[in-house]
Structure 1
Amino acid sequence: MEAGDEIVFADEYGTWMITGDEKRFVKSYLISLSEISTPEEYTIGAIPLIQRDRWESFSNKVYPAAIKIGNKEQKIHLKKEVEKQKIKE
């Protein structure tokens, strides 16, 4: 704390407390994830974001972004897992 870092104490800390363009943050994360991940790792990283977006009525359009950004193998693996988990309607 002496260095000026902030510490947040909260019962319900979430992204709503941090201002910014969430679509841009998610897109940047998915781009980085796709560059360094196997299809399995990409899916593991993308699924929680897609699930959260589902809870928000798909307002951030994470699934289409993840499909657009992923390479061929990542897209195939992600589509299969989304269908398996019945995430997308």
Structure 2
Amino acid sequence: MDCVETAAFANQDPKEIERLLHMVVVSGGPTGVEYAAELHDFLVEDLKTWNPDIADKFTITLVEALPNVLPMFSKQLINYTGTTFKD
């Protein structure tokens, strides 16, 4: 929330806003995927209402060392999750 509030300051540099609103989640396992999805929902559904001026500037990056997320699950779920997150 500190990053969101700082990004909303008047006359904030666009590069600084981009830096502040770029969230990185490390782990493409079940916990990382769930957290990234919940973070996205929070940003889109709640913060968009509270801070509409910066709502379209959020980015979330999910980092996974393996070739895909959720490697322990079925290929169908892996493909669905990858497609959904890219959208």
TM-score (ref. length: structure 2): 0.39
Higher helix share: 1
Structure with greater strand share of residues? 2
